[in-house]
Chain A
């Protein structure tokens, strides 16, 4: 099953990046994340020289400020990509009618959905990781010259784990949503609107990041991850149950 889904995803990812609407998104996400991480790192550290209180207090301030500010760039913004890809590869295929011959191939429903999931997930993960990695390198590189006492305070272990886990869950969530709406929605722009609903759980994760250092951050993170995981599994199973060639085709 994996082999076919993987083959499908490879071809589809190639196509995704020929789509003008989607093509620029990775650059946008990376630029936003990197740009703002530097701005926040600078803002968070500039007062170190301006006021000059105890170093420990500063490190404390910086360790709370950075995750709070960066949360949205680590979680919510990168989610755009999987949502757009999922919309394009599910609703877009329906809109362009290319889904008809695809549905006539011996792919099972699970293979098809899993392939679509990989299509949204892989670029989503690569871009999220790349923007996080670049931000981390640039922020800490800057601190090396600027404020060595603040090196490696950000990102925390928690922020790192969150960054690694979230794109996976959100890509899956995006595909689940698209499949579920696919029998009723026929236009990509409508699908984007539905895809926007994913911003809610993403905000929840961003919010949980703001609580970093309060002691309950790990608990919240664990809780949010668990909820997301359950949602993703539930949604995928629901999608698999709802996925129906007849309903998809009937409206074509």
Chain B
């Protein structure tokens, strides 16, 4: 399989601090990969190493088959980077459009193509009317959008985004997410993004990785991780008429569930192997003359997964 981001046994230390510890990770072409973890977990450090800004202490990172230490120029040519706190990395002495033009030319984008690309990005990110202003006069969100435009100006095959939607309003965040999804589709681009927004990762990322204290602790599709951490599933049952307590005792008497209680006029039960047990539970209820209107699973969010993996709820 085509793996444009390949991290092997990566360790990065700053003096005594081990920021990244023996991380192994491959991101596939066309994938949107979310890198999640608490503050100081090592997310930004990983991105900096992968974008050749920091040298690995041990291990290797290959981008599109190029080694970050051996072939840094080749690596840089195929990546786009939105650095951490990218909002304040613009040249205030140039206009927004000039900032993009400068970088486009450093990336060797042909002039005409560059002009179109800049207009397209400014238009898309709703910056067109501010194109001739200095980023120094921008709000933080506008600066952030300009950073995003700069990371994408050369249409790189591999994109690293360190907290791309921080400072963006909800509508713009959604727009940017849709854009990323669209670009990743058809394997045109591969995205590696750090984020603290779990709902963002949940909706956008094909796979996520959890990093904590420099260690990669879990990698997988959000749904996979849910299944892995929730062998016990929780269901909510709604009845047409009264009979909640009756339903509760029936469910309990089946002996199939781990727990059952009443919450908000619903019967809530926890069960293992739900595929086999749910039909039996429903049958028992129907046979007792109760009308089941709705049976819904309480799906744990990625946030729940996060709390479980990182241990925030312990």
Contact = CB atoms under 8 A, between A and B. Distances in A.
Interface of A: 4, 7-8, 11, 14-15, 18-19, 96-98, 100-108, 245-246, 249-250
A214 B102 CA distance: 52
A96 B135 CA distance: 13
B73 interface: yes
Contacts of B145: none
Contacts of A15: 91, 93-94
Contacts of A18: 93
A242 to B, nearest CB: 14
A11 B94 contact: yes
B197 interface: no
B77 interface: yes
A104 B147 CA distance: 13
Contacts of B89: 97-98, 100-101
B96 to A, nearest CB: 14
Contacts of B98: 11
B21 interface: no
A11 B102 contact: yes
Contacts of B131: none
A4 B85 CA distance: 27
Interface centre among A15, A98, A105 (most CB of B within 10 A): A105
B90 A98 contact: yes
Contacts of B147: 101
Nearest to B91: A98
Given A18-B93, A97-B89, A98-B91, A105 B55 contact: no
A7 to B, nearest CB: 6
Contacts of B48: 249
Contact of A106 (B54, B86, B93, B108): B108
22 contacts: A7-B105, A11-B102, A14-B93, A15-B91, A15-B93, A15-B94, A96-B88, A98-B89, A98-B90, A100-B53, A100-B83, A100-B86, A100-B89, A101-B86, A101-B150, A104-B51, A104-B79, A106-B76, A106-B77, A107-B76, A249-B54, A250-B54
A76 B79 CA distance: 44
B107 interface: yes
A250 B14 contact: yes
B55 A246 contact: yes
Given A96-B88, A101-B83, A245-B72, 11 more contacts: A4-B106, A7-B106, A11-B98, A15-B94, A98-B90, A101-B147, A105-B103, A105-B107, A107-B76, A245-B54, A250-B14
A42 to B, nearest CB: 41
A249 B53 contact: yes
Interface of B: 14, 48, 51-55, 72-74, 76-77, 79, 81, 83, 85-86, 88-94, 98, 102-103, 105-108, 147, 150
Contacts of B76: 104-107
Nearest to B150: A101
Closest A-B pairs by Cβ, 10 of them: A106-B77, A15-B93, A18-B93, A105-B106, A106-B76, A246-B55, A104-B81, A249-B53, A100-B83, A97-B89
A96 B87 CA distance: 11
A100 B160 CA distance: 14
A105 B73 CA distance: 8
A58 to B, nearest CB: 51
Contacts of A105: 76, 103, 106-107
Contacts of A249: 48, 53-54
Nearest to A97: B89
A104 B52 contact: yes
A7 B107 CA distance: 12
A179 to B, nearest CB: 17
A245 B49 CA distance: 10
Nearest to A103: B53
B181 to A, nearest CB: 24
A235 B296 CA distance: 72
A102 B108 CA distance: 14
A252 to B, nearest CB: 9
Contacts of B150: 101
A97 B88 contact: yes
A106 B102 contact: no
Interface centre among A4, A14, A18, A98 (most CB of B within 10 A): A98
A186 B128 CA distance: 34
Contacts of A104: 51-53, 76, 79, 81, 83
Nearest to A18: B93
A14 B76 CA distance: 26
Nearest to B134: A18
A245 B105 CA distance: 21
Contacts of B85: 97
Interface centre among B83, B85, B91, B103 (most CB of A within 10 A): B91
